[in-house]
Amino acid sequence: MKKEAEMPDVVGKELPHLWNAMHRYHPGAQQMVAASGEGSWFTDESGNRYLDGVSGLWCLNLGHGRQEIIDAATAQMKKLTYFPLTMSHNPAVKLANKISSLLGGGYQTFFSNSGSEANETAFKIVRQYHKQTGNPDKFKIISRYRAYHGSTLGALSATAQANRRVKYDPGVPGFLHVYPPYHYRSIFGGEPEESDLKAAQLIEEMINWEGEETVAALIMEPFISGGGVIIPSMQYIQRVAEICKKYNVLLIMDEVVSGYGRTGKMFGFMHAEGVQPDIITMAKGLTSGYLPLGATAVKSNIYDVFKEEGKDNHFRHVSTYGGHPAACAVALKNIEIIENENIVERVNELGKSKLSQLHQLMEHENVGEVRQIGFLLGLEMVTDQKSKVPLEDSKMAEIVSKCKKKGLIIGRNGDTVPGQNNVIIIAPPLSSTEEDLDFLVETVESVICSV
Ligand code: PMP
C-alpha cells in the first residue's frame, strides 16, 4: 500500500457520464474508481489498496474472487444461459428447497433481483393473501421509523427515514410508521428491555387505533442496519411477533442485511427464540454480491391460498431476471461455502475476540454507544457522552476520510435525529482474516482518538 502521505483524498478519474448512486455533486471532486479485488481488499485505479470495512453495501460476505463461486456461475451459464421462472429450472428448484430447509422447513420462495424487489413482492403477497382469505380491508403495512427497506416506491414507502423520502413523496398509500426500539435515546427511558417493550406496545396500540381489520402486515429487520445499527432486546422481537399473531398481521422479516451469517446466526430472527416469521425477505448475502438475487420466502399456509384449484387466485407477479439460473447457482455455492467453512461460528468467535475490542472506545468522550451483533457494528458518535448531542457532520466526515487515507473504508449512517448521520457503520466481509480485523480495529481506534 502507498504511504499515507502519498494518498490523495479522492482518487480516480473524472466520470463524465456515470451517475453515481446516492450522488452528491461536488464540483471538481473525482470519484474512487475500483479496479480489482482480493478477499476483503480492493485496489483502485491509482494502485491504492483498501480494506472494505462495509462489504461493499453489506453484501460482499465471502470477499472477492472465490473461484468456486465464479466456476458455478460459468458452468451454469454454459449449461442453461437463461430461463424464466414462469416455468422453472433446476438451480431455482434446488435453491428454494435449500432456503426452506435453512428456515426450518415449510417455506415457498419467490425469486427476484434485489432486496427492494423482495420486499415489494412480500407487500403484494400479503395484500392478495388477505383479499383471498375474507379480509379485503386488510391492506396497511406497518414499519418502524429509521428502517430502510429499499429504493423502489413501495419499499421506499416502508422506509421510514425522512431524508431519503421527502423528495419523492407522496409514497404508496397504506404504509404506517411506528416508534423504533432505540433505547439509547428512547423517550421511555429506563432499562433497554423495558423501553423496547414499550416500543412494542406502541405497535399494538397502532393496530387497535387503525382497526385491526385494516392492518395486513408488519415489516421489520431484526436489527435496523442502515438506520444506525439498532439492536433491540430479543424480548422486543418476540413481543412484536406475538402481537402480529394476535391480530392476524403477517410478520415480514427483512433479512436482506442480517441473513446468511452476518449477525452470528444463519438469519437474524433466529436470535429470538420461538419467533418464526410468516415471510422472510433476503438478497445481499444470499449470493455474497457475486450476482444479483432477491428472495421472498413465504410460509406454506400462505402459499396454499394462491393455489386453490378452480379459482383465479394466482399471484400475478413476474420478473424477467428474477431467479436467474446463474444467480441461483451462485447462491447455492455461496451457501455451501458458508456451511462447509463454518462461517456462522466464525462470525461469533471473531466478533467476540476481535471486533468487540471496539467496545473499549467507550472510554472516549465522543463515543456514545457501541452496538454490535456478530459482524455488524454501529458506533454512535456524540459531542460528549452526557449530552448525547450528535457529533457534527464535519467531524464525522473527517473520521471517514482519515480511515480512507489509512486504507480502510467504513460507513456512516444513522438518521439519529432526522437527517443526522452520526453512526459509524462497520460490517466487514465474514471471511476477513484475523489480520484484516486487527487492522480494522487498530485503524478505527487510532482515527477516533486523533479526531
Ligand atoms: N432491506 C434492507 C434492510 C437493506 O439494507 C436494503 C439495502 N441496503 C434493502 C432492503 C434493499 O436492497 P437492494 O438495494 O438490493 O434493493
- The answer, yes or no, to whether residue 28 has pLDDT greater than 90, is no
**What ipTM was reported for this prediction?**
0.99
For the CA of 117, the nearest atom of ligand 1: 16
The residue whose CB lies within 8 Å of the most ligand 1 atoms, and thus the one to mutate among 57, 157, 256, is: 256
Weakest mean pLDDT among 160-164, 220-224, 401-405: 160-164
- Report the separation in Å between the CA atom of 256 and the middle of ligand 1, taken as the mean of its atom positions: 6
Rounded average pLDDT over 250-264: 98
Q: Cis omega (within 30 of 0) on the bond before 170?
A: yes
Task: For ligand 1, say whether the CB of 228 is within 6 Å of any of its atoms.
Answer: no
Query: Taking Cα atoms as reference points, which of 204, 241, 235 lies closest to residue 219?
Result: 241
Q: Which residue is associated with the grid cell 462470525?
A: 347
pLDDT digits (tens, 9 = 90+) for 263-275: 999 999 999 999 9
φ, ψ (nearest 5 deg) of residue 127: -65, -45
CB under 8 Å, gap of 24 or more: what pairs does 245-250 form? Answer: 246/204, 247/204, 247/207, 247/212, 247/215, 248/135, 248/138, 248/212, 249/142, 249/207, 249/212, 249/215, 249/216, 249/217, 249/218, 250/126, 250/129, 250/216, 250/217, 250/218, 250/278, 250/279, 250/302
Question: Quick one: pLDDT band at residue 376, thresholds 50, 70, 90?
Answer: very high
**Class assignment of domain 4-65+343-450?**
alpha beta
Ligand 1 atom 2 nearest Cα: 149
Average pLDDT value for the chain: 94
Grouping H, G, I as helix, E, B as strand and the rest as coil, residue 47 is coil
Instruction: Please state the domain extents for the chain.
Output: 4-65+343-450, 67-340
Task: For ligand 1, say whether the CB of 335 is within 6 Å of any of its atoms.
Answer: no
Task: For ligand 1, say whether the CB of 422 is within 6 Å of any of its atoms.
Answer: no
- Helix-strand-coil split of the chain, %, nearest 5: 40, 20, 45
Task: For ligand 1, say whether the CB of 302 is within 6 Å of any of its atoms.
Answer: no
For the CA of 119, the nearest atom of ligand 1: 10
Residue-level pLDDT at 14: 58
Ligand 1 atom 13 nearest Cα: 115
Question: Quick one: pLDDT band at residue 25, thresholds 50, 70, 90?
Answer: low
The residue whose CB lies within 8 Å of the most ligand 1 atoms, and thus the one to mutate among 58, 60, 116, is: 116
Task: For ligand 1, say whether the CB of 413 is within 6 Å of any of its atoms.
Answer: no
Residue-level pLDDT at 29: 63
Task: For ligand 1, say whether the CB of 114 is within 6 Å of any of its atoms.
Answer: yes
φ, ψ (nearest 5 deg) of residue 35: -115, -40
Question: Quick one: pLDDT band at residue 310, thresholds 50, 70, 90?
Answer: confident
Task: For ligand 1, say whether the CB of 411 is within 6 Å of any of its atoms.
Answer: no
- The answer, yes or no, to whether residue 1 has pLDDT greater than 90, is no
Q: How far apart are CA 141 and CA 220, in angstroms?
A: 11
Task: For ligand 1, say whether the CB of 256 is within 6 Å of any of its atoms.
Answer: yes
Weakest mean pLDDT among 234-238, 263-267, 394-398, 433-437: 394-398
Question: Quick one: pLDDT band at residue 26, thresholds 50, 70, 90?
Answer: low
Distances (CA, A) of 350 to 116, 219, 288, 424, 428: 30, 30, 19, 20, 11
Q: How far apart are CA 355 and CA 434, in angstroms?
A: 10
CATH topology of domain 67-340: Aspartate Aminotransferase; domain 2 (3.40.640)
DSSP labels, 266-333: SSGGGGSTT---SEEEE-GGGTTTSS--EEEEEEHHHHGGG--TTSS-------SSTT-HHHHHHHHH
H-assigned helices in 304-433: 325-340, 343-353, 393-405
pLDDT digits (tens, 9 = 90+) for 92-104: 999 999 999 999 9
- The answer, yes or no, to whether residue 306 has pLDDT greater than 90, is yes
- Report the separation in Å between the CA atom of 359 and the middle of ligand 1, taken as the mean of its atom positions: 27
pLDDT digits (tens, 9 = 90+) for 114-142: 999 999 999 999 999 999 999 999 999 99
